[in-house]
Structure 1
Amino acid sequence: MIEIGPFIKLQRTKQEMTQGDLAEGIVSLSYLSKIENKKTEASPEIIQLLCNRLGIELSDGVDSNLEEKCKQWYEMLYDVYDKTKIIATYKELQGMMDKSLNDSLLMFEIHKIRYYLVLRQIDKALSKINELNEMASSFNITQHYYWCKFKGNYYSHTGEFNQAMHLYKIAEDKINQIDIDETEIADLHYTISVTNSKLRNTLEVIDYANKAMDIFQKNYNFIRCAQCHILLGISYHRIKMYDKAIKNYNLAKHLGELEKNNQVIQLTNHNLGYLYSTVGNAKEAIKYYLFVVEDEEESININGRLTAITSLIQEYYNLKNYERASEMAEKAKIILNKAYDKDNHYYQLYSYLIQTYTYALNNEEEKFKSFVTDEFIPYLKHHEDYGNLVLYAKMLGNYFEENGKYKESVKYYKLANSTYNELINL
């Protein structure tokens, strides 16, 4: 059962009511503060008076209709679903929750973290996390599972993958103690696999992706299977098992085509482009990157387009096809300006990438040097983005070498080599 004190505080702050407004004529300010902070248990009569002033009803037990509607809404937050439907259902549920205190409330509040992340309202997700922190001690084990998982989702979104992994592992430890559907377990395993991929824990990626796929296959969820194949492809690519990587990418692409899911198809195209770039086949790499960039369907998100087009800039630049590289850089700026979340880690990364190549292509040598050394490389170090750090440290080393500044070039070649060694030992 939900603890009444934190709930009263939650409802009071939502209604922008001060403690004085709520307490007047019922209890003292200090006593209300004790109720809200679980330092005392108020009598049922006082609780009823406070709830009356807040305009909410106390309800006993479980409202099965409300619980079922909540369950349907929770499921919407996992699938590719019409956001207008998600928002409409949320508003309907919020209206019901505001009128009564019931057992569904806390789970609803916890799921709001994911709701805001789905809508890319990152600040609201953080505000909800901060708001619920004071109530976390009253969560039961199932609520605590989702609390950890959704906080992990938040940290994944902000690029803090170690913190995200810590929370996901806490959630995983609770799986055997709670009654949750196996598809939820598969989703957590998939999420852990994705996060391990970000942290470059390759063997763990393979392990968790296979665990997730076992369940997704059993439930004929081909899109989630395709996502697992993509993770496996990335992992086998990293350990230079290229045939296995290509096999998994092609399986993912086949499933995407069966389900007519363009996002899966183009994510696979991008990863195939990256694989061929790695093995030095620029022609094939460019072919696959262009599949993504030239696809005008709205299902290809901005992040996907930016990833592909910045990769194309790199390929053309390395081939010394500066005209095409400049053309792609201009297109990339247009796509970047359409990004909805300019505080996002990935927006900042693409902004740095595009600016770096713009300075290089325009022969703005001093700006290129100062930008990469003073801003971009420190940014990559801070975010532990070792893959890009190797690439741009090497690019800076090449720049200094071509300009006869051998001492400076050695410094950045060494940085590239040491970072690469750190990368392969992760």
Structure 2
Amino acid sequence: MGILVEIGSFIKLQRQKKEMTQGELAKGVVSLSYLSKIENKKTEASPEVIQMLCTRLGIQLDNELETTIQEKCKEWYSMLFEVNDKEEIIEKHHEVQALMDTNLTNSLLMFEIHKVRYYLVLGKFEEALDKINELNDVSSSFDNLHQFYWYKFRGNYNSLNGEFYQAIRLYKLAEEKLNQIELEDKEIGDLQYTIAVTHSKLRNTLEVIDYAGKAMDLFQREYNFIRCAQCHILLGISYRRIKMYDKAIKNYNLAKHLGELNKDNQVIQLTNLNLGYLYAAKGDTEDAISYFVEVAGDERVAHSERLGAITALIKEYYTILNYDKSEEMINKASELLEIAKKDVYTGLFEYIIQTYTYAINKEHEKFRMLVTDTFIPYLKENKDYANLVIYSKMLAEHLEDLGKYKESVKYYKLANSTYEELINL
């Protein structure tokens, strides 16, 4: 693609970045209406006009730098898809941004689109949304490759905000671009893996198995065994949900083996966490607790996984009436919550901790009000059917113990109907 194809979008983005009005940029160079036509690709400006506009924007035209810029962009893009130190990602971004600010380059739009991913990696969701809104103005100039990443990164944004149906819609639009562009296997595999993860959030089990299998085939070709391990974990979750426990365990063990071969602690402990969930689903409390303890005690594990393990231990200990250990885990989870609030959405964990605190302390009215008035509506809103079954049943049993049989029946029915909906998803 030639520079002139992107020049209108380039000038518009750089003008907005420098907070210049069209009038300020056009003054003494071109008419306001002519600049508007250039920015909206309704006319092709002469090289002389481009030169004058770029000079006013403080941008040089140096074709010799194009290869260097492309290489540095590619290096930065790859950092956004692997586990990298965030400070290194930020430092590389500043380096590339400095080149973008002073040079006319074909790489600008792709660089700006990747900023959506960049802000998401850093947990800056508002900045990601601002960038999406800013790029909407120039999205009509995107070619097929631009559109692929545009759809994919917007899908990432929706997914991280819990909008999984919208995320799937965008990922499918990205997938439709695959037969119109050339991408490396690892890029195609990453999209297929991402689609599998999102289907898993929506409990579309057959789609998860399909897409995780496709992604793993591509990752195997690349000898990327950590990504293969991630696919095995997804497959394990899917087989667990349809109660094919042997197949689930086989996939978890393969994931763990690959994690151990590559000395990847995150993969090992994510596998342990899911093995804990599997044995908890089977009712094997002792085995479930042993796996959850592994994860809960490892400070190298991501906050979300550790909180998942600790809150799972609260439930398991409560189930076997070991209230002292359950309370110990509540205290541990509360401490970790304060640290985790910076980088994890903690709403669900907070509800779980408070629910079990009231239950253990026999604060019956507080327990009932929290679960009926706040927790259950929250789970319904977030379509968290698995937890809706657990806490509807817990509330029903609590009300039954208090002799409130009519009210307890209501929540037993909710648990049963939700379970039916869950297994039919």
Q: Where does residue 117 of structure 1 map in the other structure?
A: 120
Kept in 2, the 8 Å contact 1:306–1:332? The answer is yes
Q: Which residue of 1 aligns with 2:134?
A: 131
Aligned counterpart, 2:179: 176
Partner residue in 1 for 2:420: 421
1:181 aligned partner, one-letter code: E
Deviation at 1:45, TM superposition (A): 4.0
Q: Does residue 77 of the first structure (1) align with residue 69 of the second (2)?
A: no
For residues 379 and 368 of structure 1, what CA distance do their matches in structure 2 show?
15
Report the Cα offset of residue 144 of structure 1. Answer: 0.3
Corresponding residue for residue 331 of structure 1 = 332
Shift of the alpha carbon at 1:28? Answer: 5.3
Residue matched to 1:261 = 264
Q: CA deviation at 1:17?
A: 2.7
Say if 2:143 is the partner of 1:144. Answer: no
Match of 1:291 among 288, 291, 294: 294
Flag the 1:22–1:240 CA change in 2: closer, same or farther, 3 A: same
1:256-405 paired onto structure 2 within 5 Å = 256-296=259-299, 298=300, 300-341=301-342, 346-405=345-404
CA contact (8 A) 1:230 1:268 kept: yes
Query: What CA deviation, in whole Å up to 9, does each residue of 1:183-210 have, x standing for no partner?
Result: 1111111111111111111111111111
In 2, the alpha carbon distance for the partners of 1:359 and 1:126 equals: 38
Question: Where does residue 91 of structure 2 map in the other structure?
Answer: 88
Give distance in 2, aligned partners of 1:4 and 1:184. Answer: 28
Q: Is the 8 A contact 1:209 1:228 kept in 2?
A: yes
Equivalences for residues 31-42 of structure 1 within 5 A: 32-38=35-41, 42=45
- Amino acid of the structure 2 residue aligned with 1:134: D
Give the Cα separation in 2 of the matches to 1:30 and 1:58.
24
User: RMSD between aligned alpha carbons?
Assistant: 1.9
Contact 1:62 1:104 in 2 (8 A): no
Q: Give the length in aligned residue pairs.
A: 422
Structure 1 spans left out of the alignment, 5+ residues: none
Change (3 A) 1:272 1:60: same
Deviations 1:250-303 (A, max 9, x none): 11111111111110111011111111111111011000000001113x2x1101
3-state DSSP of counterpart to 1:338: helix
1:101 deviation in Å?
2.0
Equivalent position of 1:54 in the other structure = 57
Which moves more between the two structures, 361-370 or 170-179? 361-370
Q: How high is the sequence identity, in percent, across the aligned residues?
A: 65
Q: How far did residue 408 of structure 1 move? A: 1.4
**CA 1:369/1:38 → structure 2, altered by over 3 Å: closer, same or farther?**
farther
What is the match of residue 155 of structure 1? 158
The residue identity in structure 2 corresponding to 1:65 is: T
Q: Cα–Cα, structure 1 residues 349 and 30, in superposed 2: closer, same or farther, change >3 Å?
A: farther
Q: Which amino acid aligns with 1:366?
A: E
TM-score (norm 1): 0.94
2:346 aligns to what SS in structure 1? helix
Code of the residue aligned with 1:106 in structure 2: it is: L
Deviation at 1:234, TM superposition (A): 0.6
Give 1:212 shift.
1.0
Is the contact between residue 185 and residue 222 of structure 2 (CA under 8 Å) also seen in structure 1? no
Q: CA deviation at 1:228?
A: 0.8
CA displacement at 1:33 relative to structure 2: 4.5
1:340 Cα deviation after fit: 4.7
**Is this contact kept in 1: 2:6–2:106, CA < 8 A?**
no
Report the counterpart of residue 224 of structure 2 in structure 1.
221
Q: 1:36 to 1:354 in 2, by over 3 A?
A: farther
Does residue 197 (structure 1) correspond to residue 196 (structure 2)? The answer is: no
Match in the other structure for 1:238: 241
Shift in Å, 1:20 = 4.2
C-alpha displacement of 1:393: 1.2
Q: 1:207 is matched by which residue type in structure 2?
A: D
Tell me the alpha carbon deviations over residues 93-116 of structure 1, each in whole angstroms, 9 at most, x when there is no partner.
000011122111111111111111
Deviation of the 1:40 alpha carbon: 5.3
Amino acid in structure 1 at the alignment position of 2:269: Q
Given the two structures, how large is their TM-score scaled by the length of structure 2? 0.94
